[in-house]
Structure 1
């Protein structure tokens, strides 16, 4: 259905030798992304090269990141400011002039545009952020694994995705978990913005589509499998009675069960050979208590 290729991804972790040791403070997300996307980190045999993105603008704790790949849509991600309980403002930018502004700006309305990673009671400003970044030259995913920050793992996904639209030059998505007041109970929404709809006219909110119904799913462990089932996430445009499939959220699977907290199933647990290959997958608990698995070897694009 999708005309894609599989590209290898790189994995960056807070516990790598030479990786940034980041505390919750303004500029934390910018520091992590700059190291993984632009500069790399570590020395000699511990050196990890960056994903090969560029910083177009940088001012203090604000920065604007863009893929340098020749097939990239050339939309950029701006991160700026901070969130009271950890995080930053995020915006997708076309032809940016700063980390906040560009020829076109795509962001959620004020109050929901923030990528936040802790609830009111869970943030410990003296504890190191347990971050993981996985991605390639055109797309990446950042996940925060600190179980005591919240009952889920806030995540930020940005970049190009496999699209069904013909000659699609705007197949770029900004997806993140926000609204820190709900992080304690796992009921957050995930905010998905495709920078332009399939006609190329305006930004559009995207929905996740997958094989299980969005509600009335069983709790983990599934009584049939005694574990979990997981499958691809598709991106759709439109209301519930006019859903149009737009593309694939590459690199991620979603579970068909409601998943437990980190005390029962560790955030960041690595699974091997889930799909009959030699692949590796990292588990985390996402919005509305659904589980997610990140492919640590290769993504489609």
Structure 2
């Protein structure tokens, strides 16, 4: 049986707000804390816990459910709390202190642009996606830079392996191998990048392998020129959704600990039709009886997150 999904967004009653022109790490942190741990308005939290917090130095560590999930840890911090600052994050199987992990993921960074005042978070007790959105541009397919809509994923993948202790990951959509603290404007998780973007520990927790994401398309769909204004769901056009798989970049495919296909990104799909180029975000459509949210990105308007149960 799957886990229920909750969508949190900036325009909910009682939602935490990010201030125009002064976007700061502390405000983004408040969004994450409310969604994962505290809840707001009529919306309950996702059931994560705070493992440790250092508010003075803008550091906090969260843990996903030890009942539904792996009990993995996620640290979120910044070198400053200024407008146009940065957010940095790392995950791990266990955590004994800030920056001290067992089986740590690479550290990633994203710039918080001053225009990022809108946001949404979709998740469960095991994982979530967070995307920041610009206040001055509301189309679902952006025609300007990637930096205006940064997005990342934290939590357990939907693994195909039994007892997979390496299932907890962090990814922003690129650069799987090394620690990074700055935003790279050439990619984002809001489309399906045709490159390595995940470091996962092997299923027994010993050693790592590099993975990427794959679906119908490839890096070539990363073009606003391919976008369409079609509202293909309401126009009753025939289309389907393809789940996004986690595939290995390895030299051989005979290891049960690092198989070529490790699993799926929870709730993430790519559509066979593009659309919604000029439709204001957020776009939510019922596809095959389940509501899906279109990712805001500089693409052809292809990628969706299911609002139905994950981990079925």
TM-score range, shorter chain: 0.7 to 0.9
Cα separation, 1, equivalents of 2:154 and 2:240: 25
Cα separation, 2, equivalents of 1:265 and 1:151: 18
For residue 244 of structure 1, what is the aligned residue in structure 2?
260
Q: How does 1:51-200 map to 2 (within 5 A)?
A: 51-60=46-55, 61-82=58-79, 85-108=84-107, 113-118=108-113, 123-124=114-115, 129-146=117-134, 148=136, 151-152=145-146, 153-177=149-173, 180=183, 182=185, 192-200=197-205
How many Å apart are 1:57 and its aligned residue? 0.7
Q: How does 1:209-288 map to 2 (within 5 A)?
A: 209-215=214-220, 219-221=226-228, 230-239=241-250, 244-256=260-272, 264-272=278-286, 274-275=287-288, 277=289, 279-286=290-297
Q: 2:307 aligns with which of 292, 296, 300?
A: 296
**Contact 1:268-1:282 within 8 A present in 2 as well:** yes
Structure 1, 59-68 or 76-85: larger mean CA deviation: 76-85
Structure 1, 47-56 or 94-103: larger mean CA deviation: 94-103
Counterpart secondary structure, 2:201: coil
The 1:17/1:248 distance shift into structure 2, 3 A limit, reads: same
**Contact 2:209-2:250 within 8 A present in 1 as well:** no
Cα separation, 1, equivalents of 2:249 and 2:10: 38
**Contact 1:282-1:296 within 8 A present in 2 as well:** yes
The 1:245/1:81 distance shift into structure 2, 3 A limit, reads: same
Cα separation, 1, equivalents of 2:203 and 2:214: 17
Unaligned runs of 5+ in 2: 138-143, 175-181, 254-258
The 1:252/1:117 distance shift into structure 2, 3 A limit, reads: farther
Counterpart secondary structure, 1:182: coil
* TM-score of the two chains, using structure 2 as the length reference: 0.75
Cα separation, 1, equivalents of 2:37 and 2:242: 31
Unaligned runs of 5+ in 1: none
* TM-score of the two chains, using structure 1 as the length reference: 0.77
The 1:140/1:170 distance shift into structure 2, 3 A limit, reads: same
**Contact 1:25-1:86 within 8 A present in 2 as well:** yes
Matched residues, number: 276
Structure 1, 135-144 or 189-198: larger mean CA deviation: 189-198
Q: Deviations over 1:201-232 (max 9, x none)?
A: 23433211213344379923399x78775421
The 1:193/1:70 distance shift into structure 2, 3 A limit, reads: same
Q: Deviations over 1:59-82 (max 9, x none)?
A: 012110101331421211100115
The 1:30/1:177 distance shift into structure 2, 3 A limit, reads: farther
**Contact 2:106-2:199 within 8 A present in 1 as well:** no
For residue 14 of structure 1, what is the aligned residue in structure 2?
10
The 1:105/1:296 distance shift into structure 2, 3 A limit, reads: same
RMSD: 3.5
Counterpart secondary structure, 1:156: strand
Q: Deviations over 1:114-161 (max 9, x none)?
A: 03354xxxx33xxx6211111111111112232658544321211112
Structure 1, 5-14 or 173-182: larger mean CA deviation: 173-182
